[in-house]
Amino acid sequence: MSVASVHGLVVSASLALAPARLTGQVALNHIYVYLDSSSYQAIAASPFVRDSFATMREATVSDAKGSWRGLYLFGQETYLELYRAGPNTPPPGTVAFAFGVDRAGELDEVAARLRGAGRPGVRVTRRRAIGSDTIPWFHQLSPAELDSAAIAPSVRWWVMEYDGAYLARRPPGDLTLNGRTDRAGYNRQLYRPDLAVRDIAGLVLRLPEPVRRALAEQLTTLGFTRQAGSEPLRFVAGAFAIELHSTTGEAGELTEVRFTTTRDQAPSRRLFGSAELTVDGDRSTLRIARQSEAGPFAGCPLASRRVMVGKRQVATCTGGVSGPLVVFESGLGDGISVWSRVLGQVSNVTRVMAYDRAGIGGSAPAGGPRDGRRVAAELAELLDALGEDRPVILVGHSLGGLFVRAFREVWPRRVSGMVLVDPTPEGFFARQRELVGADLFAANRAATMARLQGTALEEWTAIPESEAAVGGRDDSPRMRGSLLSAGKIQSPDPVVGPKAKAIWLDLHRTMAARLGLSHQVVEGAGHYLQLEVPDRIAEEVRRLVEEDAKAEGRKRLHLSGGPAYRFLDRTPGADGRGGWEGLTVNVGWEYPLSTKVGLILGIGGYWGGSAVTLEAIPDDDCPLQMPCAPPNPSPDRGVSGSVLHARIGLAIGNRRLGGGLGAIVGHAKGALDPAGAGAFAEFRFQPMARFSGLTLGLLGYAMWPAPGHTEAVVSPTIGVRF
């Protein structure tokens, strides 16, 4: 089951009583929804959700058909399941909801009602392992329409009846009460009444009209009452309600899940990847960004673009201002979305690109192994397709750390710096095996592989080859950057517990020393540092960008020039000689002092003005009979129409917009008093990311080439920055 286009999910909570039983024999059991990776990880890492909002557990559940891992948020009688979307799962936003019956045999009654309404259902039995036995878990009745194209792409629902054998053996004991399923007992070990959420009380769906009509008829058959009014269609049973809105799109969307709450809540607003949780009084809303808002690639806050690399499309998320390109490489099975909180910050100071590897997210699959050498080669092909020939800064998370190191192994001159985010260190799994023993290690590895599919599984099984791809040039003195380690111990499980974490950090210290990287442990943060502490990642990248700017400062050449207006005055108040004649030309360098301030140094001149003969003015021609000629005036002197000058100033701004101010010292050839002074101002802007920029300016200076004479030059300029 999947949807073609997902527009949004909102989870809201209001202060109310727990939901009553639905009319007839059914009650809401649970809802599930798939989230993009960044939203899933951010919710999983949230202390607020875990400690204040609802009981939350991350768990793996298995039955005879397979296993799945997700986050579970428990109410008193209902729960919400959140799953992370990947390359071989339904897309983000895929949703389903399940109703349940409480007494053995009631599912038969529901089936009879559906048949009587001309809507026969499809019934299956799901089985689950309890101890050494595999017993019936629950019986599931799904509307037959779910197998048709009319409804399956939009929404899925079913009715379920727990099997008595399972209820009798599920901890903490027999979960029947007065002959019915003890629904509160089912969640008793996990539900916490001191937290905000009590239960799910309603759903809001947006559906194409044919799907909406079909679901409305099914709800009526199940015993829901349609409330008066035309739009939206609202069906109620007890305290539970479902709203059905119409949409012109081809696919449906779940937009709200409404909870009852145990208490009023202080107003707050929190972001979780592309999701947003707001709490205000007796209401809470968790909103997942519509794909129309997030762009074609979930989690991309900048410009989404598909790039043709050979015959294969690669999904990229790009943006930023002039500067070195920063490439973000995700971990195992992850794509663009895990960097959503970092990209916007770094794009303010330089160019950025996150991308989906082959077979992940919006990128087409590629043949061949998924080891570090292959991934590095595909990244090189992508950079070539983009025309990127300057050295790049690489940022790699987890397994992506091995991939970016493999890239540098083959193309060291294409890498100017590196930030490794809790990277997978070579040799860790061998040390882990020694720590926990071969049997436990093998069991954990098998469980991990059972959860992975497609590209993620191929990358996992190729880790030994990826480890072998690094090591040759890692001791190069050209390496610049940092390694950030997650300090939080995720679980007491010996496979990933304190002793395993100590090995992980020890290998990080060794790796950082060998690579010449600085090493920092981020205490209290988990493996996805880019979601929990995105500012730290952005800070390390900005530091490398600033170092690059300083290193390239002497190469930042400015050329500018323009027509000049020259004014030559014989005496104050007398008719002078002036007009547009000649040109100014300026050559300069900008040496960055930081990412926003630079020192401007330059030389230039004015050429092309007509030569002028100057005479020293005798005393009797001076205003107020003030002496203005030297005691022994020189014979007639000429000014050739050329002036040389030097400039010094400060440039302020970012790489896209900025300006400069400074002073000019000039020298006029052939003058009795050759010195002069002036000022300049310029405005610079960058019309394209790969073009260093244009400048518009104005300069002017004044000279006094002989007693009683004033020469001024004013010139508007236009120039380029390289």
Looking at the DSSP bridge assignments, the partners of residue 605 are 585, 644
Mean pLDDT within 251-272:
75
Question: Is residue 599 scored above 50 in pLDDT?
Answer: yes
Tell which residue, 243, 156, 158, has the closest CA to residue 203: 243
Give the per-residue pLDDT at 614.
57
Residue given tokens 């380690």 in the structure block? 485
d(CA 277, CA 405): 37
Per DSSP, helices labelled H in 145-201 are: 164-169, 183-186
Q: Are 647 and 663 in contact (CB under 8 A)?
A: yes
- Residues 71-115 have pLDDT tens digits of 999 999 899 999 887 666 776 777 888 998 888 888 988 888 888
Q: How far apart are CA 507 and CA 401, in angstroms?
A: 13
The share of the chain scoring above pLDDT 90, in percent, equals 23
- Tokens describing residue 537: 């990642």
Lowest model confidence (mean pLDDT) among 109-113, 192-196, 451-455, 585-589: 451-455
pLDDT number for residue 6: 32
Type of residue found at 400: G
- Mean pLDDT over residues 30-43, rounded? 80
Q: Quote the pLDDT of residue 34.
A: 83
Give me the DSSP letters along 508-568. HHHHHHHHT-EEEEETT--S-HHHH-HHHHHHHHHHHHHHHHHHTGGG-EEEEEEEEEEEE
From the list 163, 126, 164, 127, the residue with the least C-alpha distance to 142 is: 126
pLDDT at 63 over 80: no
Q: How far is CA 572 from the centre of its chain?
A: 65
The pLDDT score that the predictor gives to residue 79 is 92
CB 429 within 8 A of CB 402: no
Summary mean pLDDT of the chain: 79
The pLDDT of residue 12 is: 44
Cα–Cα distance, 584 to 596 (Å, whole number) = 28
Amino acid at 249: G
Residue 569 parent element (H or E): strand 557-569
Does residue 570 carry a pLDDT above 60? no
* 3-class secondary structure, 473: coil
Residue partners of 382: CB distance under 8 A and separation at least 6: 307, 309, 314, 316, 355
Q: What angle do CA 127, 88, 41 make, to 5 degrees?
A: 90
Q: Residue 8: is its pLDDT beyond 70?
A: no
* Residues ≥6 apart with Cβ < 8 Å to 384: none
Residues contacting 702, CB < 8 A, separation 6+? 676, 677, 678, 710, 711, 712
Q: Is the pLDDT of residue 425 over 90?
A: yes
Average pLDDT (12-31) is: 57
Query: What angle do helix axes 438-451 and 454-461 make, rounded to 10 degrees?
Result: 150
Average pLDDT of the residues in 430-446:
88
Does 597 or 162 have the greater pLDDT score? Answer: 162
pLDDT at 1: 29
Output 612 or 503, whichever has higher pLDDT. Answer: 503
CA distance 690 to 590: 18
Residue carrying the six token digits 């349940």:
100
Q: Reply yes or no on whether the pLDDT at 625 is more than 60.
A: no
What pLDDT does 245 receive? 86
Q: pLDDT confidence of 20, banded at 50, 70, 90?
A: very low
525 pLDDT tier (thresholds 50, 70, 90): confident
598 band by pLDDT with thresholds 50, 70 and 90 = confident
DSSP letter at 103 equals B
Separation of alpha carbons 660 and 597, rounded Å: 10
pLDDT digit string (tens) for 459-474? 999 999 999 988 655 4
What pLDDT sits at residue 169? 79
Q: Which residue has the higher pLDDT, 267 or 591?
A: 591
